[in-house]
Structure 1
Amino acid sequence: MDCWQFVSFFIRQLLCVLFLLPFWLKTPVNKRRLGSVKVTLFRSHLMLAGSGCLMVALTYLPLTTANALFYTAPLIMLPLSAWLFGEKTTTDKMVTTLIGFTGVIVILRPSEFHWATIFALGCAFTLALYNLLVKKLPLGKPVSITLFWTSLLSLPFAGVLSAFFWQPLSYFDFALIAASAFSTMGYHASAISTYKRSVTSHIALAEYSGLIFVTLFGVIWFEEFPDELTLVGILLIVLPMLLGHHKNELNTQL
């Protein structure tokens, strides 16, 4: 694993804490206290584990393959949500999700297995569990407070790792880390707000749409043009989701 990842993770989390500190200070005392200590501590270290798995996967796997495996996270959420929260899902949603997973397998091409795929799946699992555990957090807490405590509790262990593997950073590296910090905060804030209010199976299907943006970014920024099998896999992921959403709208109107 690239040791630079530990350094960047620590700095990213530190920037998040510093950015969120004014919001924490302005929040009433009864709402800014740490709620579920065990869950928040566990979620903070899930971020660290997932970040390490992410770096390994992106280092050793093609971008499209790595991201396809990351998108098994919504599928993993379905059995996890049934186990942890007793959520029920319809047959239609289960079939749609299984078709989406088939699309991921098509993109992956099992005959080209690489050991780093295990780390990509590890990243997907930590992401799925991280998002689902939002439901274990106390209700009524502002999103900024949840993000503040999650980032803060990740600093001690991340700080030890970054000190042990410290590497000098350029101004450009720091700028990339800062951009990553704000992007990460935006994602986690959206996830916290959404998973507290919605049924997991509904969100899981919607999350697959991000694969379209990943493909577009690969074409625009890295000149990685998907081949025929990749396009077929993406269609298997996206089209059933769109058809299911359209069906739900028609049923609502009727």
Structure 2
Amino acid sequence: MPSYYTAIVLLVVGNLAASLSDVAVKLINGELPTFQYVFIRQLLSVLVLFPLWRMQPPSARPLVHRKLTLLRAHLVLIGSGCMVVAITHLPLASANAVFYAAPLLMLPLSAMLLKEPPTKSKLLASLIGFGGVLIVLRPSEFHWAALFALGTAFTLALFNVTARKIPKTQSVISNLFWTSLLSLPVSAILALTFWQPMSAKTLLLTLASAGLILSYNGLAVMAYRRASASNIAIAENSGLVFVTAFGVLWFNEIPDGFTALGIVLIVTPLLPWRRRRQAVAVPR
């Protein structure tokens, strides 16, 4: 399978996990302080990744590109905190509408940081996809928490774009392990400052959300290493389809005509026939 199509599949599966993580955070419903949630999530990531990291050859374990990894670790902290606030105080659909600005933000970021200017067709496809997001998830009114949702979108876009600068000699496991480990000192201090007792249900939801978002991060790193950000960023919008389905199944949110139109606008640029015609331009 060409690298482009593999990267698309990885991002779609990752967005399924991220959508389920959002549902878990919504179900927590603010019962856990934001910093406590973020610390538990990062700690679980380290505990899960450590044995996998140790199983690798010694040459694959060292921390590579320390400054960049440290930056990405704290992007995770900022984005996670903003995400919890946004999902807690906004409807799930409204929060996700802003989150899905990330692919659009990745276009200028990839041009500035990676020297990968998007073609007119990619820019148009991303604008159509983002327009579909707005149609489906239509935020009804401005809320202060929307600024936190925008913060999540920006940090997610920057996290994904900078994945392309990570040397290919560093494995995905090592990258995620070091990113999670470097985030612990700051997250631990903030969590201890606001620590509160939690119920078993809240703990389980937090652990589930942490595991799901860890899966997304790993899949995203693999995807953006296989193809340029401007080529595959639009696949991030696949999460919209999952969010819509979860709304039907769990929250009785039946899509209307505008929702169906929005899904069509988002999915159409991802159809295989479109990329086959552009196959010559896709990096291998």
Shared fold by TM > 0.5? yes
1:1-254 to 2 correspondences below 5 Å: 2=30, 4-107=33-136, 109=138, 112-242=141-271, 245-250=272-277, 252=279
> By how many angstroms is 1:109 displaced?
4.6
CA contact (8 A) 2:109 2:158 kept: yes
User: Can you give the 5+ residue segments of structure 2 that lack an aligned partner in the other structure?
Assistant: 1-28
User: Can you give the 5+ residue segments of structure 1 that lack an aligned partner in the other structure?
Assistant: none
CA contact (8 A) 1:16 1:182 kept: yes
- The one-letter code matched in structure 1 to 2:86 is A
Specify whether residues 118 and 229 from structure 1 end up closer, same or farther in structure 2 by C-alpha distance, changes over 3 A only.
farther
- The one-letter code matched in structure 2 to 1:90 is T
CA contact (8 A) 2:163 2:224 kept: yes
CA distance in structure 2 between the aligned counterparts of 1:134 and 1:247, rounded to whole angstroms: 26
> By how many angstroms is 1:95 displaced?
0.8
CA distance in structure 1 between the aligned counterparts of 2:137 and 2:47, rounded to whole angstroms: 39
For 1:37-62, what per-residue CA distance to the aligned partner results, in whole angstroms no more than 9, with x for missing partners? 11111111111111111122112222
> By how many angstroms is 1:10 displaced?
0.8
Specify whether residues 251 and 199 from structure 1 end up closer, same or farther in structure 2 by C-alpha distance, changes over 3 A only.
closer
CA distance in structure 1 between the aligned counterparts of 2:154 and 2:136, rounded to whole angstroms: 19
> By how many angstroms is 1:251 displaced?
5.7
CA contact (8 A) 1:69 1:108 kept: no
Tell me how many residue pairs correspond in the alignment. Answer: 251
Specify whether residues 106 and 252 from structure 1 end up closer, same or farther in structure 2 by C-alpha distance, changes over 3 A only.
closer
Q: Classify the secondary structure of the residue corresponding to 2:232.
A: helix
For 1:91-114, what per-residue CA distance to the aligned partner results, in whole angstroms no more than 9, with x for missing partners? 211111111222233346577222
CA contact (8 A) 1:206 1:241 kept: yes
CA distance in structure 1 between the aligned counterparts of 2:139 and 2:148, rounded to whole angstroms: 15
> By how many angstroms is 1:152 displaced?
0.4
- Superposition RMSD on alpha carbons, in Å? 2.1
> By how many angstroms is 1:196 displaced?
1.1
Q: Classify the secondary structure of the residue corresponding to 1:220.
A: helix
> By how many angstroms is 1:175 displaced?
1.6
TM-score norm. by structure 1 comes to: 0.91
Report the counterpart of residue 16 of structure 2 in structure 1: none
For 1:127-179, what per-residue CA distance to the aligned partner results, in whole angstroms no more than 9, with x for missing partners? 00011111222221121111110100110000011100101122222222221
Q: Classify the secondary structure of the residue corresponding to 1:208.
A: helix
CA distance in structure 1 between the aligned counterparts of 2:188 and 2:267, rounded to whole angstroms: 40
CA distance in structure 2 between the aligned counterparts of 1:224 and 1:27, rounded to whole angstroms: 45
Q: Classify the secondary structure of the residue corresponding to 2:128.
A: helix
- Name the % identity: 52
CA distance in structure 1 between the aligned counterparts of 2:40 and 2:270, rounded to whole angstroms: 37
